[in-house]
Amino acid sequence: MTSARTPGQVLQEAPRKDSRDKRARVLRTVDDLLTRGEPVTFTAVAKAAGVSTWLVYAPGVREHVEAARTQQARTATTGSDPRSAGGAMSARTDLEILRADNQRLRGQVSDLKEALQRQLGRQLDQLQATDLTDRIGELTAQNQELNIQITRLHHEQRELERRLAETNDDLVAARASLRRMIRIENS
């Protein structure tokens, strides 16, 4: 007989199961992209699998994506469809344009991060220490109330478990009594 899992155990296992499911979905997506002959990129895998790009770069997943990319690159270089000189030049030009755009966008992201940090700094400077002290007091009071509720709920749980045990004992006794009555009636 296996013991029932506690709610805490269920809550601890939920993120692990979610992570395993997402990683499996990423691996299936990599295989699907390879099968369909679509380019395997970290972004394409993340988008097709419906996960964050962080996950496809995570250890244990990244290696599969890189292996698929390497496999595709080997297949492309040994394939029977050689590109024309114009196509290769166009691809190089597109690549350079994309690199320039990427560099420009990285600069914009960096500028936006700095502006956001400055804005948050100004907002923090505007908060007065009394506001923070009041907020800490409120949060402490809420924490105490929640701890009291937790204690009360634990007592209620113990009482309910005790009543359940008594009810189970009564049920067992009633069944035994019923069996005796049936035996007496049958004999």
Answer yes or no: are the C-beta atoms of 50 and 43 closer than 8 Å: no
Q: What would the pLDDT profile of 123-164 be if each residue is shown by its tens digit? A: 777 766 667 788 889 999 999 999 999 999 999 999 999 999
Domain ranges (residues) in the chain: 8-79, 92-126, 133-187
Q: Shortest CA distance to 40 belongs to which of 19, 16, 66, 77?
A: 66
Answer yes or no: are the C-beta atoms of 26 and 51 closer than 8 Å: yes
SS (H, E, C) 73-117: HHHHHHCCCCCCHHHHHHHHHHHHHHHHHHHHHHHHHHHHHHHHH
Q: What pLDDT was estimated at residue 123? A: 77
80 has a pLDDT exceeding 50: no
Task: Point out the least confidently predicted range of 40-44, 86-90, 165-169.
Answer: 86-90
| pTM for this prediction | 0.39
Answer yes or no: are the C-beta atoms of 15 and 6 closer than 8 Å: no
Average pLDDT over residues 68-72: 88
Q: What pLDDT was estimated at residue 180? A: 94
83 has a pLDDT exceeding 80: no
Tokens of 78: 């040994």
> Position of tokens 């050689």?
82
Q: What would the pLDDT profile of 94-129 be if each residue is shown by its tens digit? A: 888 888 888 889 999 999 999 999 888 887 777 666
> Position of tokens 């420009």?
104
